[in-house]
Amino acid sequence: MPASRPSPPGAAGWSPWRVVVGFGVVSLAADMVYEGARSMYGPLLASLGASALVVGLVTGAGEAAALLLRLVSGPLADRTHRYWTLTIAGYTLTAVCVPLLAITPLLGGAGLALAAILILAERLGKAVRSPAKSALLADAAGQVGIGRGLGVHKALDQVGAFAGPLLVAGVVAGTGVLWPGFAALAVPGALALLTLALVRRRANRTVTTSVPSPPTHQATGAKLPRMFWWFATASALCTAGLVTFGLIGFHVVEADVVPAAGVPLLYAAAMAAAAVAALATGTAYDRLGPRVLLALPLLVSIVPALAFGTGLGLTATGVLLWGAAVGVQDSTIKAFVADLVPRPRRATAYGLFAAVQGAGALLGGAAAGALYGYSRPGLIAAVAATQVTALLILVPIVARIPTAHPR
Angle between helices 186-202 and 16-38 (to 10 degrees): 160
Q: Looking at the structure, do residues 295 and 203 belong to the same domain, yes or no?
A: no
Phi and psi (nearest 5°) for 176? 80, 0
Q: Looking at the structure, do residues 174 and 249 belong to the same domain, yes or no?
A: no
Residue 405 included in any domain: no
Taking alpha carbons only, the member of 134, 323, 325, 319 closest to residue 238 is 325
Taking alpha carbons only, the member of 348, 349, 383, 378 closest to residue 363 is 383
Predicted confidence (pLDDT) at residue 89 exceeds the cutoff of 50: yes
Neighbouring residues of 79: CB distance < 8 A, sequence distance ≥ 6? none
Element spanning 137, H or E: helix 110-141
Ranked by mean pLDDT, which of 36-40, 81-85, 308-312, 342-346 comes out on top? 81-85
What Rg do the C-alpha atoms of the chain give, in angstroms? 21
Question: What confidence score (pLDDT) does residue 61 get?
Answer: 73
* Of 198 and 283, more confident: 198
Q: How many domains does the chain have?
A: 2
Residue 104 included in any domain: yes
Q: Looking at the structure, do residues 155 and 275 belong to the same domain, yes or no?
A: no
Rounded Cα gap, residues 278 and 257, in angstroms: 28
Q: pLDDT digit string (tens) for 304-321? A: 999 888 888 899 999 899
Q: pLDDT digit string (tens) for 390-400? A: 999 999 998 87
Q: At CA 91, angle to CA 162 and CA 125, rounded to 5?
A: 95
CATH number reported for the structural domain that contains residue 94 in this entry: 1.20.1250.20
Boundary residue ending a domain (209, 241, 271): 209
**Domain span at residue 61?**
16-209
Rounded Cα gap, residues 381 and 378, in angstroms: 5
Lowest mean pLDDT among 75-89, 121-135, 211-225: 211-225
- Report CA-CA distances (Å) from 313 to 252, 269, 273: 12, 13, 16
pTM confidence score = 0.71
